[in-house]
Amino acid sequence: MTQPSFKTSQSGDHAVLLLHGLSSSPLELRFIARFLGDEGFATHTPELPGYSAGTGHLSMEQWISAAVSEFDALAVRYRHVSICGLSMGATLAAAVAHQRPDARALLLLSITLDYDGWAIPWYHFLVDWCYYTPLRSRYKYREHEPYGLKNEALRSKIARAMQKSGISEVGAASIAMPALHEASRLASLVKRTTKEISSDCLIIHAIDDETSSPHNAEFVGANIGASFLRTIWLDDSYHMISSDNEREVVARECALFLRESAAASTCADNPTPVVSRALARRLRQLASIAEKA
């Protein structure tokens, strides 16, 4: 299976680490990465060993370790480093933010703590049980309509891409059971540690998400320890909000939140009050009068 890739932006003093979904590729976040790059942010969308498509299977602890290493590499070069994740990538982003509380902002797109959307098969709850049976090496969850997309034209394009190459801009055609098992472990970890995450947090979720219901976003919003929190609900998308009908809204809101978070940080670091020109003139006049007196 060939991994699609694209160049990322390296400009600015604010870097964004973008983490794609489970067993997928950086292509999932191409639109948002390019938008943020055009807005002056440095972006980095890596492949992670044992997590990205075509890189084998590793434990969720190794996923976190690899993502943290990517964060640390950016932190050496940039004043601000934020983390953005999509689907299980959002869950992974939360785990990284827990280990790196200096993360400027945390952007959670279609966060997946439970596969409980309306299109998930009823038997999905058996996956963890099957992991401990001979089915472990044989079973794969196969993606199917609507592929996380409300946009029907794009959905047809994705179906063709998955049939031809086994991967598309919204993920792989199938996910192996070991990956699903580790994803379940990762989600359990994040549920336990959400209250300890303090980075500014933006949550964007579709109300009709067919993979992870709105309960996932609601859980994070109700439990995260962030003092600056914003939740945005979309009504014309499914799970893959970085590619679907409202991708421009998603990208724009991400850029806006990153700017607001960085600006708030700058004000906190330098609490000098902002003074208008008129007030500055008046203060100079008063100082002059005081000196003469």
Catalytic residue among 20, 80, 181, 239: 239
Catalytic residue among 168, 209, 213, 243: 209
Residues 6 or more apart in contact with residue 136 via CB below 8 angstroms? 130, 177, 178
Is residue 72 annotated as part of the catalytic site, yes or no? no
Strands 14-19 vs 105-109: parallel, antiparallel or unpaired: unpaired
C-alpha–C-alpha distance, residues 83 and 28, integer Å: 15
Catalytic residue among 52, 87, 213, 243: 87
HSE toward the beta carbon, residue 47, CA cutoff 13 A = 19
C-alpha–C-alpha distance, residues 182 and 180, integer Å: 5
User: Which tokens sit at 281?
Assistant: 């003139």
Let me know if 96 is exposed, middle or buried by CB neighbors in 10 A (0-12, 13-18, 19+).
buried
Nearest C-alpha neighbor of 251 from the set 31, 23, 90, 40: 31
C-alpha–C-alpha distance, residues 119 and 259, integer Å: 35
**Cβ atoms of 66 and 51 closer than 8 Å:** yes
> Which amino acid is it at 106?
L
Is residue 102 annotated as part of the catalytic site, yes or no? no
Using DSSP's 3-state secondary structure scheme, residue 17 falls into strand
**Cβ atoms of 91 and 111 closer than 8 Å:** yes
Is residue 87 annotated as part of the catalytic site, yes or no? yes
User: Which tokens sit at 148?
Assistant: 């996380």
Bridge partners for 14 per DSSP: 80
Residues in the chain: 293
| Catalytically active residues, by annotation | 87, 209, 239
